Chain A
């Protein structure tokens, strides 16, 4: 078998499932340990370095980290990573003196950012400390983009948004609200800016043109409707509301409808629950508020009588799974009585303000062609990020786009090729403190995932902006931090020290270690002490061991990082080493990583 190379960051990074799954590569286990130590400011700052908006994301992140969490494979429930992030944000003190210093003397480069959403704000956050003069053009009255106008305040309070956006704007960003860019050509022709970043989102809700669509004024487009609620243009809704679509916008719509006074709210989906786009926890939260979620219904027409919407007609299907595929058959037509319909079936980009003759190429779906690594369009100096780049995704992706675009903009403005990306690096440092003591808690906690406490149902509907989730209390936090398996503390193997005493194999609770004859990967796999069940997880293979020439193989899939292999190892062939990913941002590079001083990476 190929000897595993652990000198490049990818092997160990992949072991840290949450960090690998996070688009911005947040160092999750490290910030959870900091929370465990009560170091909330440090935990917040570590988060902020990669995901910029810990308070916001600690409430509304799409959480790609949680389904990836190793704990899901060990006992079924992920660590409540997102909620812990909120704990750091809620409990921190004033961190403003720890924000990056902004040079008084500017570097003479000016950058225009279009749209004040998470992508643009991240670009500003990364470029301001480097001396750039950054201008954000925002069409609305306040910064925040979809985070502000589309996510209801009962999920994401205004104060949280204001605080975290304020950290960036207060760096000296020239934020021009109520200033939509009406012509990109004019902006470029002014030659005022060295680079332009488009982070204008995907602000257009998809239309559903069926008979009756334009015969009633009680049919709304989800994101526009939410926006109108945000601005106070809408403060009531009918009694019986049907929401079409079952993504996260639909969840925000149905819960908002409840708060505006609807009695009966139904969310109607074409497919079965397994295929819903909404996150499972958002579905649960909606159902807790007595929203009725219906499957197997495909809209046919809006039923409008005498100019009044009275119902929505659907084709009903039966569903079954055949060979892992959903097979649906028509059953009958049904009409659901209602007085309001809200369409939440997706969003699209819209660039009416970008001229088509300025050298900025659009593809056949009329979206700009954007490089997936550099985020530059076909027009030099114009970059895209967030939903504007590749269509609707989520906040954490927008943040990562912002980071990458900022790297490109910096390279571009400094006259360097934007394809030259600063590489990722790693540091590995032993956590050994004594004979069997480590600088992390290696004891496995069998505690169950802590349940988020919600305010009472009747309290929720009193005020549209009353936050539903209370956040973890001290006891819940204490339990939850211990559930983290510390996957970033790597089992690091030094083959020259191994005497093949089998101690590590015998003690491993999940049988992830094997010493066996070398051979083709498939042969070696067949000889493992327990089968390797997860192709997404690495199989570590050492070189030949000195006594017998066999090799040490480790299946990373279920490793609990309990460190017992290292505790049982008489020769320190196994050591528990903390892995730090050196993740470059604009102006922060880790070339020659092993020489990087500890304080650069340690919070």
Chain B
């Protein structure tokens, strides 16, 4: 980790976005992660995506649990709200935050330990409820903070830094998300920023639970020859099956694709997601096909990346539960606390 703060001067060509901020304004504190950590690269992609979407930082809630990944919300959007929860409990906090203030743009950052072990149940229920949240799983296959033990996402046969092989079957977060009915499922790689920024932007715009599993190499404990989550391995085995081209509202569509190769998905705010399929037979709105494709690629020792599945129009958690629109803090006191008479009437309904 560096001890100095990032110098203020910036390149003169740095532009301001629609809310008058530069990309540098979306940065946070200096990272204390290891030099070369994939997580820092993801942080940079988050900064880029929020800037490009013109989201005012104070309308954002950053949430995390415990682990290397969960430290990262401190490194982006210093003006945003944040909550660093108990290990694995970030989805509960996010659910609460979303219920109390549905207007907040929520981003949760978790890791393979936080999500697939201690917080596995939490993750499942956030998916089930379709909480309006962008959930990033920074996946490096090890517990970096406790010196590199295998995590639940470690592949069979991949080795630790000292050479022992992992024998247990991995939990694949993408297959889990598809199984549980997540409405937006993607996979990416910290070393592929071009793809990652587009996916984060699409995920932030998606209404409902957007899940991105991001291979994020641990340079200290899991970037060696026996690793299947190293920079070199991921570069060699990554196959982009769907290229997402996110076109925010009011922006002109400039990229041209051959007809038939593109599927357009209109997001709830009328922005457009153009999905460029590498495989013409693939339909990223077909959940069963998505599941089968991910499995097929796995069998072939490939890592399928891109926006693998998306489904719009399903009610999110607040809609399912009839939550009062708008943040609770803006409700007049009389409405927020209608008095003991009202309470008694309510209780009478359950007698």
Contacts and interface: CB of A to CB of B under 8 A. Distances in A.
Interface in A521-572: 530-531, 533, 547-548, 558, 560, 562, 564, 567-571
A503 interface: yes
Given A436-B1, A503-B41, A567-B35, A531 B13 contact: yes
B13 A533 contact: yes
Nearest to B2: A567
Contacts of B43: 506
Interface in B144-166: none
Contact of B4 (A443, A505, A570): A443
Majority-rule SS of B interface residues: loop
B328 interface: no
Given A500-B191, A500-B231, A570-B35, A509 B40 contact: no
A276 B235 CA distance: 59
B41 A506 contact: yes
Contacts of B4: 442-444, 562, 564
B350 interface: no
Given A530-B14, A570-B223, 13 more contacts: A446-B8, A499-B219, A499-B223, A501-B37, A503-B35, A505-B44, A506-B40, A509-B6, A509-B24, A511-B10, A511-B14, A560-B7, A571-B36
B220 to A, nearest CB: 8
Interface of A: 74-75, 436, 442-444, 446, 499-503, 505-507, 509-512, 530-531, 533, 547-548, 558, 560, 562, 564, 567-571
Interface string B214-227: 00010110010000
Interface in B207-248: 217, 219-220, 223, 231-232, 235
A505 B9 CA distance: 15
B333 interface: no
B250 interface: no
Contacts of B322: none
A509 B9 contact: yes
A118 B207 CA distance: 76
Contacts, number: 95
Interface string B12-28: 11100000000010000
A424 B6 CA distance: 36
B11 interface: yes
Contacts of B14: 511, 530
Interface in B45-64: none
Given A547-B232, A571-B36, A502 B191 contact: yes
B6 A564 contact: yes
B13 A501 contact: no
Contacts of B13: 530-531, 533
Contacts of B97: none
25 contacts: A444-B4, A444-B9, A499-B231, A499-B232, A500-B191, A500-B235, A501-B36, A502-B193, A503-B36, A506-B41, A507-B6, A507-B40, A510-B10, A530-B11, A533-B12, A533-B13, A547-B235, A560-B9, A562-B4, A564-B2, A568-B36, A568-B40, A569-B35, A570-B37, A570-B219
Contacts of B11: 510-512, 530, 558
B91 interface: no
Contacts of B2: 436, 507, 564, 567-568
A560 B7 CA distance: 8
A568 B223 contact: no
Contacts of B7: 444, 509, 560, 562
B81 to A, nearest CB: 24
Nearest to A564: B2
Contacts of B35: 503, 567-570
B8 A501 contact: no
Contacts of A509: 6-10, 24
Contacts of A569: 35-36
Contacts of B8: 444, 446, 509
B191 A501 contact: yes
Interface of B: 1-4, 6-14, 24, 34-38, 40-41, 43-44, 190-191, 193, 217, 219-220, 223, 231-232, 235
A74 B8 CA distance: 10
Nearest to A557: B11
B37 A503 contact: yes
A530 B8 CA distance: 16
A75 B235 contact: no
Contacts of B220: 570
B219 A501 contact: yes
A564 B11 CA distance: 16
Contacts of B9: 74-75, 444, 509-510, 558, 560
Nearest to A444: B7
Contacts of A74: 9
Task: Give the 4 A-B residue pairs with the shortest CB-CB distance, closest first.
Answer: A570-B36, A444-B7, A506-B44, A530-B11
Given A442-B4, A547-B232, A547-B235, A501 B38 contact: yes
A510 B43 CA distance: 17
Contacts of A531: 13
A437 B7 CA distance: 17
A501 B217 contact: yes
A580 to B, nearest CB: 25
Q: Most chain-B Cβ atoms within 10 A of its Cβ — which of A501, A512, A562? A: A501
A507 B27 CA distance: 10
B9 to A, nearest CB: 5
Contacts of A562: 4, 7
Contacts of A442: 4
Contacts of B12: 533
Nearest to B24: A509
Contacts of A502: 41, 44, 190-191, 193
Contacts of B219: 499, 501, 570
Contacts of A570: 34-37, 219-220, 223
A394 B67 CA distance: 63
Contacts of B40: 503, 506-507, 568
A499 B235 CA distance: 10
Nearest to B43: A506
Contact of A547 (B10, B37, B38, B231): B231
B6 A499 contact: no
Contact of B231 (A436, A443, A501, A511): A501
A499 B34 CA distance: 15
Contacts of B34: 570
Nearest to B235: A547
A570 B39 CA distance: 13
A505 B194 CA distance: 13
A507 B35 CA distance: 11
A511 B37 CA distance: 19
A503 to B, nearest CB: 5
Contacts of A505: 44
Nearest to A510: B11
A504 B38 CA distance: 12
A558 B7 CA distance: 12
Which of A436, A503, A507, A531 has most chain B Cβ within 10 Å? A503
A512 to B, nearest CB: 8
A501 B10 CA distance: 22
Contacts of B24: 509
A436 B6 CA distance: 14
A570 B8 CA distance: 24
B99 to A, nearest CB: 34
A178 to B, nearest CB: 56
Contacts of A506: 40-41, 43-44
Looking at B3, B14, B217, B220, the one whose CB has the most chain A CB atoms below 10 A away is B3
Nearest to A446: B8
Contacts of B3: 436
A314 B141 CA distance: 83
Contacts of B235: 500, 547-548
Contacts of B217: 501
A569 B13 CA distance: 25
A199 B293 CA distance: 83
Nearest to B234: A547
A446 B7 CA distance: 8
